[in-house]
Structure 1
Amino acid sequence: MTDLMTLGQRIRFYRTGARLTLDQLGAAVGIAGSQLSLMENGKREPRLSLLQSLARTFGVEVADLLTVTPPTERAALEIELASLQKSAVYRSLGLADIRPSRGMSDETLRSVIGLHRELARRAREAIATPEEARRANTELRQHMRTQNNHIAEIEVLAEEAVAAAGYRVGALTHRAVGLMAERLGFELIYVNDLPHSTRSVTDLENGRIYLPPASIPGGHGLRSMALQAIAHRVLGHHEPDTYADFLRQRLEINYFAAACLMPLSQSLTFLRAAKAERNLAIEDFRDAFGVTHESAALRFTNIATVHLDMPVHFLRVGEDGALYKGYENDGLQLPTDVTGSTEGQLVCRHWSARTAFTRANRTTEFYQYTDTPTGTYWCSTQTGTASSEEFSITFGVPFADAKWFRGRDTTTREASRCPDDGCCRRPSAELADRWSHRAWPSARLHAHILAPLPSGTFPGVDDTELYDFLEAHSAR
């Protein structure tokens, strides 16, 4: 639409410069003046033959008509106003469009456009309710479930990117990641003063990607953060208009980073060989590519169903039993709230995601079979520590696919009746009678419960701190 409007403005610019009316120009090129009016207003696209006739009449080249630059500042303002009035935000108000007349001053036009820009900004930066955010996250999770957590287009882009950087096999090096950035015109720069609300910052104007210094030399984290920043450029992302857009982009950059760190072809070679030996293990996949256990388990979900013909599930659970991340396409019944969201819901106490916390030796994977209302599942769980709390990473498959995995011979087995409250959510009648109304615990309030949902074009980012950072570093 914007390109047609620019073309129309350029036709009008050359017509008025030649002191021709619409009818006079129409007679010269063999078309009605009313048809030319539609073209000048961006409502009809002229044929190439007509553009050639117009160019000859004006004494210019066809390229002069087709350039995307508005012919005047006034034309640029009128084009922007027309574009803003087509937005969903303005349409939702039910107001009529304003057509700038010759008598409307540029100052008035700028004021109207300024109001539109502010309206759009407020719509973008409005604080979404927690329910809206949870619904958006649920819709995204359900969408990925329909795709078996696999995005073929990103797989192709990632393989092309790492191959161009010289990657062949094993762990992707920091040098290769740096070369990937260079191919896009960016330099990786490590600084100690990143804004507190950011993990990385990309300076589009100066071609720089700012990252924190490595706390662990050669660590997986910096490669992943750099690849996520690169992904925005590779995937052609624009500033998110909604919280749903923001979540989708975050999922896509995480997917791209994982697909670069564990490229599809090399991952399949490794995993198919392990499957043939009935010796699949997340810890082996992790070590082969030098990534975290969580990254390896999540990446397995991208590959398992589409390429290894097995449905799977993945869980990241806190020490309090709360589910932070969850995915399943194998029928495991994840706990949900009324919106269908799984985040923050408590998983069954009998699942390996929680029983793994009770064992003394946590250095290796913990294996368990669990009988549930939807079937029996085999799970592999690894525990870890982040900040001040522990967490567990669980990868699992239905009983029939346990035969492909190391740890299938475990004798550990639990039974779960969740979501039946009688399974593990209610205390025993004996203990309830003994302690009900005889205790007064002081609840531990999680900070995120009272915190507002992050707002802004990039939710959670402090723009003041960000722009001060960019201004300080752009001068160096």
Structure 2
Amino acid sequence: MASLLSEEPLSLTQELDLIAFGQRLRHLRKQRGLTLSDLGERVGRAPSQLSLLENGKREPKLTLLKGLAAALNVPVEELLRRQAPNRRAQLEIALEEAQRDPLYAGLGLPRLKVSARVPNDVLEHILGLYGELRSRQARGTATPEEARAANAELRRRQRELGNYFPEIELAAAEALASVGYRAGALSQSTVQALVTHFGYTVHTAQDLPRSVRSIADTRNRRIYVKNEQLGMHTPRTILLQTIGHLALGHGKPRDFADFLRQRTEANYFAAAVLVPEKAAASFLTEAKHDRALSVEDLRDVFAVSYEMAAHRFTNLATTHLGLVCHFVRNDAGGIIYKAYENDGIVFPADEQGAIEGQRMCLQWSGRQVFLSPDRFSVFYQYSDSPTGTYFCVAHVDPSRERDFAITLGVPYKESRWFRGRETTNRTKSTCPSGECCRRPPVELAERWDGYAWPSARANSHVLAALPPGSFPGVDEADVYTFLERHA
């Protein structure tokens, strides 16, 4: 209570808080045993006018304000204090402010008029619920730290399961069986049949919001998509991802981690429909027997993007082929957007174990492919690292707004099963620790340290995670090399 009564005098020039003023006026009136009629007679105003003041519906004129102060035998400043005069008034003010909040109004509840008969504990109960409502809304927007932690936990679970989720495989197989799928690449008519099977119709809309790939109208059972292709996210894929949420019984996400889990599961479902487990496992097993495993072939047989084929390979590799592997998607600057591993390779990570937003070693195939004379051809490479030697296949996807490299890698001993194993490309990396490539060469650092002031590009990559450095998101080694070249 002390905090409620520790008040500072206010001047007449301050903005009037009508709700607090009304509560204070009512408190002082009742404290003196006056009715609205009694006070009205003293100031020459009708009781209804004073009632509007007490309810915060009308602002008093200065002359009336002075008259009220005189009638109640208090200084004008006493009426203008912003603090609630007591606990009851504090609760009523808080409830009034809550009901003006668009979040509260969005509940569609009728306005609650508080009478003297409503006990304090009821008001506290309502305000407690309102506080939890605001808290949950705030938790719905993840901080970068929360998002990175959620990604790290998801990746740990994927690693434990070999990135294979049997319940989603089963849901995809049942969906395909329901529309009579037999073999081969999924046709557009089969995708349409799946949409119909789940009770929806498809509608293209060119004015779809830029922040979404699709919108499902659950009331009218419609799915809206744009008729355009964005790399891995073709209309066919987007439709199946949307259907995945329905098939897997997803509800409104509880938090960012739940949102991430649902999105990952829906993506997995779409891939499992487009590249069915039974057919793909049979194809890959035969290719392994022929020592000709290839992401390209998997892509071509099932008519999917290279990225989806590589993703799907990681789903099936451990369970069906007995192989461990890793997957990375990065941009030309080496920034990692997606990653998975169960083969022991060590990705650069922050203190929470998050990989997204970190910069990949310059010697890894995901960056070397951008230096290749033919950057859009499949690039094969052996990479020596502190945890062993890996055989990696990298490919730049040219169908996106920005170029991204997709890398699939396996330990050296497993290279014998893959096409391209005869490559002579080989690099050595000591990342993520050591003097490999994360710091400029000593001679360049000595020459340029303190004389370079780069202006970094805005990083819009996943989770707004920036690699560490004096200028977050800037590769200092590249900056110094550039300056040396142009000095």
Is TM > 0.5 for Structure 1 vs Structure 2?
yes
Q: Distance in 1 between matches of 2:306 and 2:437?
A: 28
Q: Distance in 2 between matches of 1:180 and 1:173?
A: 11
- Counterpart of 2:394? 381
Whether 1:167 and 2:181 are equivalent positions in the alignment is: yes
Note the C-alpha offset of 1:138: 0.7
- Counterpart of 1:258? 271
Whether 1:129 and 2:143 are equivalent positions in the alignment is: yes
Q: CA offsets, 1:188-231, max 9 Å, x none?
A: 11112222322111111111111112359x99611110011111
Whether 1:362 and 2:381 are equivalent positions in the alignment is: no
Q: Distance in 2 between matches of 1:119 and 1:232?
A: 27
Superposition pairs of residues 111-126 of structure 1, within 5 angstroms:
116=129, 119-120=132-133, 122-126=135-139
Q: Distance in 2 between matches of 1:312 and 1:220?
A: 24
Q: Distance in 1 between matches of 2:124 and 2:237?
A: 44
Match of 2:456 among 424, 443, 446: 443
Q: CA offsets, 1:129-155, max 9 Å, x none?
A: 211111111111111111110100000
Note the C-alpha offset of 1:430: 1.9
- Counterpart of 2:195? 181
Q: Distance in 1 between matches of 2:285 and 2:434?
A: 41
- Counterpart of 1:337? 350
Kept in 1: contact 2:335–2:358 (CA 8 A): yes
- Counterpart of 2:261? 248
Q: Distance in 2 between matches of 1:219 and 1:351?
A: 23
TM-score of the superposed pair, with normalisation by structure 2: 0.67
- Counterpart of 1:195? 209
Kept in 2: contact 1:124–1:241 (CA 8 A): no
- Which of structures 1 and 2 has the bigger CA Rg? 2
The 1:296/1:238 distance shift into structure 2, 3 A limit, reads same
Q: Which has the higher contact order (CA 8 A, sep 6+)?
A: 1
One-letter amino acid of the structure 2 residue matched with residue 373 of structure 1: P
Whether 1:232 and 2:281 are equivalent positions in the alignment is: no
Whether 1:211 and 2:225 are equivalent positions in the alignment is: yes
- Counterpart of 1:421? 434
Match of 1:395 among 408, 421, 424: 408
Kept in 2: contact 1:124–1:242 (CA 8 A): no
- Counterpart of 1:434? 447
Q: Distance in 1 between matches of 2:438 and 2:364?
A: 13
Q: Distance in 2 between matches of 1:114 and 1:164?
A: 50
Kept in 2: contact 1:165–1:177 (CA 8 A): no
Kept in 2: contact 1:220–1:291 (CA 8 A): no
Q: CA offsets, 1:422-442, max 9 Å, x none?
A: 111122222222322333322
TM-score of the superposed pair, with normalisation by structure 1: 0.68
Kept in 1: contact 2:337–2:462 (CA 8 A): no
One-letter amino acid of the structure 2 residue matched with residue 367 of structure 1: Y
- Counterpart of 1:411? 424
Kept in 1: contact 2:253–2:259 (CA 8 A): yes
In the alignment, structure 1 segments of 5+ residues that lack a partner are: 1-103, 453-476
One-letter amino acid of the structure 1 residue matched with residue 133 of structure 2: A
The 1:113/1:233 distance shift into structure 2, 3 A limit, reads farther
- Counterpart of 2:4? none
Q: Distance in 1 between matches of 2:325 and 2:463?
A: 34
Superposition pairs of residues 49-128 of structure 1, within 5 angstroms:
116=129, 119-120=132-133, 122-126=135-139, 127-128=141-142
Kept in 2: contact 1:316–1:393 (CA 8 A): yes
Q: Distance in 1 between matches of 2:440 and 2:394?
A: 26
Q: Distance in 2 between matches of 1:219 and 1:419?
A: 29
- Counterpart of 1:153? 167
The 1:144/1:417 distance shift into structure 2, 3 A limit, reads same
Note the C-alpha offset of 1:443: 2.4
Number of residues paired by the alignment?
346
Q: Distance in 2 between matches of 1:209 and 1:190?
A: 8
Match of 1:303 among 313, 316, 324: 316
Kept in 1: contact 2:214–2:242 (CA 8 A): yes
Kept in 2: contact 1:364–1:382 (CA 8 A): yes
1:269 partner SS: helix
The 1:139/1:220 distance shift into structure 2, 3 A limit, reads closer
- Counterpart of 1:143? 157
2:296 partner SS: helix
- Counterpart of 1:275? 288
- Counterpart of 1:67? none
One-letter amino acid of the structure 2 residue matched with residue 179 of structure 1: A
- Counterpart of 1:42? none
- The worse-fitting range, judged by mean Cα deviation, of 114-123 and 280-289 is 114-123
Kept in 1: contact 2:144–2:464 (CA 8 A): no
Q: Distance in 1 between matches of 2:283 and 2:245?
A: 28
In the alignment, structure 2 segments of 5+ residues that lack a partner are: 1-116, 466-487
The 1:165/1:325 distance shift into structure 2, 3 A limit, reads same
Kept in 2: contact 1:312–1:397 (CA 8 A): yes
The 1:194/1:220 distance shift into structure 2, 3 A limit, reads closer
State the superposition RMSD in angstroms. 2.5
Q: Distance in 1 between matches of 2:365 and 2:455?
A: 28
Q: Distance in 1 between matches of 2:426 and 2:281?
A: 30
Q: Distance in 2 between matches of 1:220 and 1:238?
A: 23
